[in-house]
Structure 1
Amino acid sequence: MPLATPATISLEPALPVFFAHGLRTAPDTLLAQALAISVADLNQQYPDRASLVYGTMLADMERQKREHIALYTQYPTAVERLYGLLQLGLRDLTTIPGNFYADLQTNFPESWEAALHHLTTYSSPQLQQLLNDGIRNRLFRSDININLVTKILIEQLNMMLNPQVFPPERFNMGEVFRSIFLYYIRGICTDEGGRIAAEHFARL
């Protein structure tokens, strides 16, 4: 594979290396190999690990946004889009080692702040907008507390991945996802929204 020039580096491939080997301990050789550049070019453009981690986190946030645009093209209704976002979020969360965010918070505070900023300025507003759209289109009940429902949805994703709550050797995560989100979201749906939710899950 030809090496990329530093100006064209996409940092997304660095994230799996960080997941596998740790933010501080991932070898430069493996990171450079994943990015298809030389170690010298990597060190020249990112002279310290903090700047590389920060850039990688920002690249992953942009990747999420692109996937969400594609998802919105695939699914026309707020109900389907909400399920789709939750599935993408769950897929991403299952790839993240348990100590990743603790390491990020402790050793890379600028990257941690960027992650929190993304959650509060992008992820949460995105869910809130979907709920608003669903209410306007009479797919979600008009009496729901949008801020509270948004918080519950995010915490439910985190709960699913807590091995003390759902040990993976005892529970099928697909069934857990269905049991949590199918019934919860159907509970905030109108009759029409509930019909779309049931049809969507039937296709999964």
Structure 2
Amino acid sequence: MTFLETILGELLQIFKRDGIESHTDEDLIRILDIRQTTFKELFSSRADMVKQVVLLDIEQQKREQTQLLAKAANPVEEFMLLLQDGIRRIREINPVFIGDMQRYPEAWKMSMEHVSSNNQQVNADILNRGILEGYFRKDINLQVVTKIILEQFFMMINPNIFPPQKYDLSEVFRSIYLYYVRGFCTDTGSKLAEEFFSKNNL
């Protein structure tokens, strides 16, 4: 791992824990224990810093998702592992971070484009294999279902619909996806989902 990647990783943890705007550049320089000249060499602006942090986060998510899905025994378990991981990630993020991110249009756009392209591709692949293997219903429309899954995510992170001070976003995430996934399972898929729920306390 390079020096820059180490710094970006530390910034990512700080932002997810405290939000982006809770610390000034001077605060971050002190927390990171680096020189101001080094900080300015790494980041041309606050927006550039946030953009680089988001790029690192996207790459980490891709690697972790590949490793996670490799553990699954079947498409149902893949969906369940993604659900479980999504709940964990939401719980680890301060809702302020999501609001702060929207102040940086380029970084926010990159993040949302990753969510859109990655989610639709991964979910479509899992659904297609699940249908062929008899875990998911054959009558579902892949394009529509993957679009609904994506839009449900955007709805969840919309503070006008689910204000984070009023709703536990991890519970909202669970409620949205848990019952939706169960809805397109066959009897065989439902049994596997129920087994996963009971073992993992979802």
**TM-score (structure 2 length as normaliser):** 0.78
Q: Cα distance, 1:94 vs. partner?
A: 3.3
Structure 2 distance, partners of 1:160, 1:24, is 22
Is 1:12 matched up with 2:9? yes
Q: Cα distance, 1:102 vs. partner?
A: 4.1
Work out whether residues 10 and 59 of structure 1, in 8 Å CA contact, stay in contact via their aligned partners in 2: no
Query: Which of 160, 171, 174 does residue 173 from structure 1 map onto?
Result: 171
Q: Cα distance, 1:139 vs. partner?
A: 1.0
Structure 1 distance, partners of 2:128, 2:142, is 8
Work out whether residues 86 and 157 of structure 1, in 8 Å CA contact, stay in contact via their aligned partners in 2: no
Letter in 1 for 2:76: V
Q: Cα distance, 1:157 vs. partner?
A: 4.8
Unpaired runs of at least 5, structure 2: none
Structure 2 distance, partners of 1:93, 1:74, is 21
Q: Cα distance, 1:76 vs. partner?
A: 2.1
Query: Which of 134, 144, 148 does residue 144 from structure 2 map onto?
Result: 148
CA shift in 2, pair 1:103/1:182, >3 Å: closer
Query: Which of 88, 104, 121 does residue 117 from structure 2 map onto?
Result: 121
Q: Which moved more, 1:61-70 or 1:154-163?
A: 154-163
Q: Cα distance, 1:142 vs. partner?
A: 1.3
Q: 1:1-204, aligned counterparts within 5 Å?
A: 6-7=3-4, 9-32=6-29, 35=32, 37-105=34-102, 107-157=103-153, 162-163=162-163, 167-168=167-168, 173=171, 177=174, 180-204=176-200
Number of matched pairs = 195
Work out whether residues 17 and 30 of structure 1, in 8 Å CA contact, stay in contact via their aligned partners in 2: no
Work out whether residues 17 and 26 of structure 1, in 8 Å CA contact, stay in contact via their aligned partners in 2: no
Q: Which moved more, 1:81-90 or 1:12-21?
A: 12-21
Structure 2 distance, partners of 1:131, 1:33, is 47
Work out whether residues 24 and 49 of structure 1, in 8 Å CA contact, stay in contact via their aligned partners in 2: no
Stretches of 4+ aligned residues off by more than 6 angstroms: none
Larger RCO (alpha carbons 8 Å, 6+ apart): 2
| Deviation digits for residues 132-161 of structure 1 (CA, Å, limit 9, x no counterpart) | 121121211111122332233344456667
Structure 2 distance, partners of 1:8, 1:93, is 23
Instruction: Report percent identity of matched pairs.
Output: 35
Unpaired runs of at least 5, structure 1: none
Structure 1 distance, partners of 2:30, 2:77, is 38
Q: Cα distance, 1:68 vs. partner?
A: 0.9
Letter in 1 for 2:127: L
Structure 2 distance, partners of 1:22, 1:155, is 24
**TM-score (structure 1 length as normaliser):** 0.77
